[in-house]
Structure 1
Amino acid sequence: MKKRGLVAALATPLALFTASLIASEKLYNFAFKRVDYVPETSADKQKYADAYWAYVKWLKQQPVQDWTLNPDDQANRLVAKYVPAKAASHRTVIISHGYKGDGETMANYAYMFHNMGYNVLLPDDRGHGKSAGKYISFGWQDRRDYLEWINQVIKQNGPQTEIVLFGVSMGGATVEMMSGEDLPAQVKAIIADCGYTSIEEELAYLLKEQFHLPKYPFVPIVSFINRHRMGYFLSDVSSVEQLRHNKLPIFFIHGEKDIYVPSWMLKKNYRAAKGPKMMWQVPNATHAESFWIDPAAYEKHVSAFLSRYLPKL
């Protein structure tokens, strides 16, 4: 082969590799880098806007307490809003928000649990809201932060307190990932609404469905970038693996028409979960829409699940 031909032969794969690196870096920044605002909701959920803002208004009218973890460490400072129950209660729900949201975006769920007699803790995850963090960990680092929030609740409310973990979308995956940790005895149940199986599977699925791109080489390169930035590969971030170690009662909720976190992920998570478990696939609901379609029915299902494992207040 002549020298010019050899150079051309080498240049083509090198150019493709370079282009893949550049595209993967852009993808990583798009998906993992924090944003300091809450993006507008999808068009199909705009019809719930008035109801959503009414819940936010309610939250802002409550006697909210500001809680903090690692207050003197700016790189790891985390914040949460705590809403005491209407009457003194030994039960607290810790609510985990969705991707690029914050605690305030979960005001509707806070309202529901408040009406059920619970204290409510609404953390802002790393890389979200008023908490520190350059990047979004999709529940993996958050699961350890939530262990600290659990300890904070126990410290504030006493060892007799009973805790429920609840999350939606990324928050659903976060509480699923928490299920495999060594949780204190005060944690009594978990409710996960539309959580994904793993960030690797979720990213590969969205690449294909939304951008018509293959898993390879982009997901492995993004995983390598994350290992360098955050200290772990995407293959480490798995709800399925954590659920295999679960011992607590867990309730899975998922929209039947969810095309963002597809229903096969619900079934895979459900099959993996150990311990007592229930599943409710909500007809006609898209991603994270199950509550909004019928708030009363949603509360009824949640109450029915909890009443099986926690005696009535």
Structure 2
Amino acid sequence: MKRKKRWWKIVGGILIILVLIDIGAGFFFYKLAIERNTKDFLTGNADLEVSAEAMNEFTKGDWREWVSNQSFEYWEQQAFDGNTLQGYFLEAEEPTDKTVVFAHGYLGRATDMALFGQYYYEELGYNMFTADSRGHGLSEGDYIGFGWHDRLDYVGWIDRIIEELGEDAEIILHGVSMGAATVLMTAGEELPDNVKLVVADSPYSSVHELFEYQLDRMFHLPSFPIIPTIGMVTNLMAGYDLKEASALEQVKKAEIPILYIHGGNDTFVPTAMTKELYENTQTDSEMLIVPGANHGESIVLDREGYIAAMNQFFDQYLE
């Protein structure tokens, strides 16, 4: 009898230790990936290595000088949780009802989207709006929303654009990586008819699936029980759960056309996620897979094909 009690004490002690380790892992990965801080863990990540051509364009492209020479209006928005968010609006050289609204990627900032915005502004003649997502740039927030709370922020920015430009405003949403998931999540909300279509470049299907994938690929750890614990910590600290932050569920509700673009060699956000999103989209949609392109490289490695796909989509779905 005493031996049995001792055995149960040992088992109980081991279980308590495992639970404490799991809770510690949940807080560790929350701090690592979601809390606003420096993300050194991505340095040297092979999945984020891009071609020399893409790196040169990202770091030294003409778009960098172009965006620094533009006179953006600074817009502010008070988010639902009290954070002050920063946006930037650039009026087209000729009056137009069309505005492209950009959402940048993880750890990026609003000006990164000038890589795409220069074409919209100079060649298409659109107004351009871009914002620092919560937890990024000049926007407040002590956590990264991975698109979920950001979707509500973007509904607010859309309302502001219509308020400023009038009821005839036509809006395109264009996002990359986390920004692509953001605009897809936004598309699943009840939006005004002014929002005409979405361009989603390299999106993930859900934060839960992305974290499962990265936990295995980067840390060689099982999803259970760590992912559920990260979800609970995120809910406690940031107010959302990893499973509810789903672009996949949102595109099932979307009522506007969506153009999906993804690199065929993307190993950071697997190409299969865009294919899954495309297959579950209930509205009109198209998909461009750029062979050989890694994460976010498509606009550089096949700029002609990228722009042609955009223009064909716009010709079909914009008035």
So what's the TM-score if we normalise by structure 2? 0.91
Q: What is the deviation of 1:51?
A: 2.6
Q: What is the deviation of 1:6?
A: 3.8
In the other structure, the counterpart of 1:23 is 25
**Sequence identity (%):** 34
When residues 102 and 40 of structure 1 are mapped into structure 2, their CA distance, relative to the original with a 3 A threshold, is: farther
Does structure 1 conserve the Cα–Cα contact (< 8 Å) formed by 2:33 and 2:39?
Answer: no
Q: What is the deviation of 1:233?
A: 1.8
**Counterpart Cα distance in 1 of 2:311 and 2:107:** 28
When residues 36 and 150 of structure 1 are mapped into structure 2, their CA distance, relative to the original with a 3 A threshold, is: farther
- The one-letter code of the counterpart of 2:112 is T
In the other structure, the counterpart of 1:78 is 85
Mapped pair 1:108 → 2:115: yes
- The one-letter code of the counterpart of 2:275 is K
**Counterpart Cα distance in 2 of 1:277 and 1:44:** 28
* Matching of residues 61-76 of structure 1 within 5 Å: 61-70=69-78, 75-76=82-83
When residues 20 and 150 of structure 1 are mapped into structure 2, their CA distance, relative to the original with a 3 A threshold, is: same
Name the SS for the 2:173 alignment partner.
strand
**Counterpart Cα distance in 1 of 2:281 and 2:194:** 20
Mapped pair 1:92 → 2:99: yes
Q: What is the deviation of 1:209?
A: 1.1
* Matching of residues 282-301 of structure 1 within 5 Å: 282-301=290-309
- The one-letter code of the counterpart of 1:201 is E
- The one-letter code of the counterpart of 1:260 is F
* Matching of residues 155-170 of structure 1 within 5 Å: 155-170=163-178
CA deviations 1:71-113 (Å, max 9, x no partner) are 9x99410001112212221100000110111101112011121
Name the SS for the 1:80 alignment partner.
strand
CA deviations 1:267-305 (Å, max 9, x no partner) are 211111111111111111111111011323322221111
Does structure 2 conserve the Cα–Cα contact (< 8 Å) formed by 1:75 and 1:132?
Answer: no
* Matching of residues 143-292 of structure 1 within 5 Å: 143-292=151-300
Q: What is the deviation of 1:70?
A: 2.0
**Counterpart Cα distance in 1 of 2:232 and 2:37:** 22
Name the SS for the 1:44 alignment partner.
coil
When residues 101 and 228 of structure 1 are mapped into structure 2, their CA distance, relative to the original with a 3 A threshold, is: same
- The one-letter code of the counterpart of 1:44 is V
Name the SS for the 1:245 alignment partner.
coil
Does structure 2 conserve the Cα–Cα contact (< 8 Å) formed by 1:165 and 1:189?
Answer: yes
When residues 155 and 25 of structure 1 are mapped into structure 2, their CA distance, relative to the original with a 3 A threshold, is: same
Q: What is the deviation of 1:55?
A: 1.4
Does structure 1 conserve the Cα–Cα contact (< 8 Å) formed by 2:170 and 2:195?
Answer: yes
When residues 13 and 37 of structure 1 are mapped into structure 2, their CA distance, relative to the original with a 3 A threshold, is: closer
Does structure 1 conserve the Cα–Cα contact (< 8 Å) formed by 2:53 and 2:300?
Answer: no
Q: Relative to structure 2, which stretch is displaced further, 143-152 or 20-29?
A: 20-29
* Matching of residues 34-73 of structure 1 within 5 Å: 34-35=36-37, 42-45=48-51, 47-52=53-58, 53=60, 54-70=62-78
CA deviations 1:176-215 (Å, max 9, x no partner) are 1111111101111111111111100110011111111110
Q: What is the deviation of 1:46?
A: 5.5
Segments of 5+ residues of structure 2 without an aligned counterpart are: none
* Number of residue pairs the alignment of both structures matches: 310
Does structure 2 conserve the Cα–Cα contact (< 8 Å) formed by 1:75 and 1:133?
Answer: no
Q: Relative to structure 2, which stretch is displaced further, 170-179 or 46-55?
A: 46-55
Segments of 5+ residues of structure 1 without an aligned counterpart are: none
**Counterpart Cα distance in 2 of 1:306 and 1:18:** 53
Does structure 1 conserve the Cα–Cα contact (< 8 Å) formed by 2:264 and 2:291?
Answer: yes
Name the SS for the 2:243 alignment partner.
helix
CA deviations 1:232-256 (Å, max 9, x no partner) are 3211111111111111111011111
In the other structure, the counterpart of 2:134 is 126
**Counterpart Cα distance in 2 of 1:260 and 1:110:** 24
**Counterpart Cα distance in 1 of 2:7 and 2:248:** 49
Quick one: which of 146, 150, 171 aligns to 1:142? Answer: 150
Does structure 1 conserve the Cα–Cα contact (< 8 Å) formed by 2:290 and 2:302?
Answer: no
When residues 302 and 167 of structure 1 are mapped into structure 2, their CA distance, relative to the original with a 3 A threshold, is: same
**Counterpart Cα distance in 1 of 2:51 and 2:95:** 35
Does structure 2 conserve the Cα–Cα contact (< 8 Å) formed by 1:197 and 1:240?
Answer: yes
Q: What is the deviation of 1:36?
A: 6.6
Q: Relative to structure 2, which stretch is displaced further, 140-149 or 228-237?
A: 228-237
Name the SS for the 1:167 alignment partner.
strand
In the other structure, the counterpart of 2:34 is 32
